[in-house]
């Protein structure tokens, strides 16, 4: 297993990392306790004598909790396979305390495909509910009480999972379907804003329900839905803005980096002079690597006057001057890069792009758009009837 962004990588499928978030590890004992507490009542509903079941209620509770997240995993696999089939790119699958998420680096291009991609998850869960329901019916009347109870519980969990995800509470599947339906009329930004408002409305309802029923887990669900809806809305607005500008409008111009053949003492001086923690390493004006302050300081002062920058440089991510800003931001995020080296058509360094550059650019772009909207409103108000 490998740790990554608050999650443990437990495997991969077709090159897609599969991760388990720490929040899931924290909530599993709580779910096991809750399911174990409902053990006797669930057995009565399943028409299974509780005393005929092997194992303790808590052991069954843990098994049911694991079964729930196995069902969530299958649900997310359905999203993933559909996205891949329709030209999307899936960066990872992560199981969390309130479900799972298939993180897309490239969504399917058409709203119709996004709607169907969101729909296949709940449909898969409902199909599993039907299969386990048939299995429950098939063993009913036999002495296979443990199998009957397990199939009944898995059918119930998948039925709940499928129906719950169809609620139009963005960013859940139902909310994504709503957003895709609205996108054809409103465009992606306005459609996401509306779906986000609906999602936050559902989050408030879940929180109120949690107060009335004294159920703290509903507060957790409400929090994740509320924050997820806000985060998705913000990302879509950012994407819409950055797709309309080129990297040249966001970058910090920089005609030279640190020469690959420069001594480390010179590299440290260049970093201090530019007030940067990292700079591209260049040969003949072309970026060949990246050097940062930590790498230089890891070498003793006595050795810095003998060793060259190329000895401690790391690989550098490169982006073209004319690429759109959103593609560059995705490249920054997906590679966890400190900065991107911006090059012209000949591959020569002309600038760098980091998170600070993007934030400054976003502020300027938003200010420009707000000013344009104010001017447009003023023009409509002043225009003669």
**Domain residues of the chain, as ranges?**
2-242, 247-355
CA distance 150 to 152: 5
Catalytic residue list contains 370? no
Residue 14 binned pLDDT confidence (cut-offs 50, 70, 90)? confident
Residue 239 binned pLDDT confidence (cut-offs 50, 70, 90)? confident
- Known binding-site residues for Zn(2+) equal 75, 79, 173
Cα radius of gyration rounded to whole Å, the chain: 27
CA distance 146 to 52: 8
Q: Which residue has the tokens 């934030």?
A: 359
Torsion of CA 202, 162, 86, 336, to 10 degrees: 60
In 157-292, which ranges are E strands?
Answer: 252-253, 258-259, 278-283, 286-292
Residue 4 binned pLDDT confidence (cut-offs 50, 70, 90)? very low
Per annotation, catalytic residue among 44, 51, 76, 294: 76
* pLDDT over threshold 50, residue 333: yes
Tens of pLDDT, residue by residue over 43-92, are 777 777 777 778 788 888 888 888 888 888 899 899 888 888 877 778 88
Residue 361 binned pLDDT confidence (cut-offs 50, 70, 90)? confident
What was the pLDDT predicted at 247?
94
Give the three-class secondary structure for 248.
Answer: helix
* pLDDT over threshold 50, residue 31: yes
* pLDDT over threshold 90, residue 250: yes
**Domain 247-355: which CATH number of 3.10.580.10, 3.40.50.300, 2.170.190.11, 3.90.1180.10:** 3.10.580.10
pTM (2 d.p.)? 0.73
What was the pLDDT predicted at 89?
76
* pLDDT over threshold 90, residue 315: yes
Q: In the structure, how many helices (H) and strands (E) does the chain have? A: 13, 12
CA distance 257 to 339: 13
- Mean of the pLDDT values across residues 198-206? 92
Q: What is the mean pLDDT of the chain?
A: 85
For the residues of 280-348, what is the DSSP string, one character each?
Answer: EEEETTEEEEEEEHHHHHTS-HHHHTTSBGGGT-B--EEEETTSBHHHHHHHHHHTT-S-EEEE-TTS-
Residue 97 binned pLDDT confidence (cut-offs 50, 70, 90)? low
What was the pLDDT predicted at 262?
94
Contacts for 274 with CB less than 8 Å, ≥ 6 apart: 254
What was the pLDDT predicted at 291?
95
pLDDT above 70 covers a percentage of the chain that reads 93
Residue 105 binned pLDDT confidence (cut-offs 50, 70, 90)? low
Q: Which two tokens stand for residue 219?
A: 């507060």
């Amino acid at each position: 297993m490998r740790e990554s962004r608050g999650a443990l990588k437990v495997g991969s499928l077709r090159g897609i990392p599969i991760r388990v978030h720490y929040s899931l590890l924290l909530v599993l004992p709580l779910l096991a306790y809750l399911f174990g507490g409902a053990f006797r009542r669930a057995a009565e509903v399943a028409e299974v004598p509780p005393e005929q079941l092997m194992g303790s209620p808590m052991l069954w509770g843990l098994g049911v909790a694991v079964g729930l997240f196995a069902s969530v995993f299958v649900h997310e696999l359905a999203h993933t396979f559909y996205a891949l089939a329709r030209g999307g790119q899936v960066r990872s699958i992560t199981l969390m305390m309130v479900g799972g998420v298939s993180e897309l680096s490239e969504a399917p291009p058409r709203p119709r495909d996004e709607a169907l991609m969101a729909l296949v998850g709940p449909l898969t869960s409902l199909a599993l509910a039907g299969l386990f329901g048939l299995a429950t019916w098939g063993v009913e009347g036999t002495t296979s009480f443990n199998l009957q109870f397990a199939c009944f519980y898995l059918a119930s969990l998948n039925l709940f999972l499928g129906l719950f995800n169809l609620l139009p509470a963005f960013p859940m599947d139902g909310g994504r379907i709503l957003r895709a339906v609205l996108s054809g009329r409103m465009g992606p930004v306005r459609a996401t804003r509306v779906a986000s408002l609906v999602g936050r409305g559902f989050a408030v309802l879940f929180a109120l329900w949690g107060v009335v029923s004294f159920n703290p887990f509903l507060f957790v669900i409400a929090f994740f839905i509320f924050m997820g809806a806000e985060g998705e809305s913000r990302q879509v607005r950012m994407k819409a803005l950055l797709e309309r500008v080129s990297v040249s409008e966001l970058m910090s111009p920089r005609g030279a980096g640190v020469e690959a053949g420069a001594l480390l003492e010179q590299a440290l001086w260049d970093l201090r002079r530019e007030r940067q923690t990292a700079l591209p390493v260049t040969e003949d004006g072309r970026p060949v690597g990246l050097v940062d302050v930590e790498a230089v300081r890891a070498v003793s002062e006595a050795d810095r006057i003998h060793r060259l920058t190329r000895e401690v440089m790391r690989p550098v991510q490169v982006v073209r001057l004319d690429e759109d800003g959103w593609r560059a931001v995705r490249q920054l995020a997906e590679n966890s890069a400190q900065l991107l080296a911006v090059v012209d058509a000949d591959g020569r360094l002309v600038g760098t792009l980091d998170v600070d550059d993007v934030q400054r650019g976003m502020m300027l772009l938003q200010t420009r758009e707000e000013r344009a909207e104010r001017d447009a409103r003023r023009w409509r108000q002043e225009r003669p009837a």
